[in-house]
Amino acid sequence: QKEVEQNSGPLSVPEGAIASLNCTYSDRGSQSFFWYRQYSGKSPELIMFIYSNGDKEDGRFTAQLNKASQYVSLLIRDSQPSDSATYLCAVILSGGSYIPTFGRGTSLIVHP
Amino acid sequence: EAGVAQSPRYKIIEKRQSVAFWCNPISGHATLYWYQQILGQGPKLLIQFQNNGVVDDSQLPKDRFSAERLKGVDSTLKIQPAKLEDSAVYLCASPWGSSGANVLTFGAGSRLTVL
């Protein structure tokens, strides 16, 4: 079992819809969770991070964390074509190294 | 903050040749990471430096890859000899800000094509 798993997609949604991206992780002791966005040919850039169970909102983005079920999700409201990108989930696993481990990413396509 | 500088942006070599990538992270950050991102995959950690010491190089293919960080500032990642499967983007990253969250700022990356 991989440490951080994401469906590679692509996930296709119409403009204005809610896009839901999911990530599961294997290490129950993981403490910190991140969502990065990566446009084609560019480097990853942080969207948001979350530590605690529940929801964290930032503009059109909401991160949801459920440690008991070991998943973290990202909701994008009012999706725009400019949101089309690969979304990478990263987790800091337990063990003390504090090194972010990335999933393979989910490709999101927002069509007009 | 000046960000993370990397060079070269692109490199094409033939298998068995050597290549070196350079990174200069955000000034003052002791921690520096090198990640390898193969097309269609997420970034995979190769090596973590804290100042000029190696913290984790467990996933670095040491028979062909080497990295150093002289004086705890800029870093060089070398591949010798290169294989076809080394074709990837090599990303250098440094923690951002003082939140303690270990949020990474990435450089633009160095795209390697091995023919």
Q: Over the stretch B47-104, which tens digit does the pLDDT of each residue have?
A: 999 988 999 999 999 999 999 998 888 999 999 999 999 999 999 999 876 555 688 9
At B97 the pLDDT is 65
Across A1-112, where does the E strand assignment appear?
4-5, 11-14, 19-25, 32-38, 45-50, 54-58, 61-66, 71-76, 85-92, 100-102, 106-111
**Strand pairing of B10-13 and A106-111?**
unpaired
Q: How many CB pairs (< 8 A) connect A and B?
A: 49
Q: Are A88 and B42 an interchain contact pair (Cβ–Cβ within 8 Å)?
A: yes
Q: Is A34 helix (H, G, I), strand (E, B) or coil?
A: strand
Which residues in chain A touch residue B107, judged by CB atoms under 8 angstroms apart? 43
In what order do the strands lie in the sheet containing B65-68?
Answer: B5-7, B19-24, B75-79, B65-68
Residues A79, A16: contact at Cβ < 8 Å?
yes
At B98 the pLDDT is 56
- Ranges of chain A with pLDDT below 70: 1, 96
Q: Are B42 and A97 an interchain contact pair (Cβ–Cβ within 8 Å)?
A: no
At B106 the pLDDT is 95
**Strand pairing of A106-111 and A11-14?**
parallel
Q: Is the pLDDT of residue B1 over 60?
A: no
Tell which of A5, A8, A43, A92 to mutate to test the B interface (max B CBs under 10 Å). Answer: A43
What's the mean pLDDT in B29-41?
93
At B107 the pLDDT is 95
Q: Are B101 and A49 an interchain contact pair (Cβ–Cβ within 8 Å)?
A: yes
At B101 the pLDDT is 63
Q: Are B104 and A44 an interchain contact pair (Cβ–Cβ within 8 Å)?
A: yes
**When comparing pLDDT for B99 and B105, which is higher?**
B105
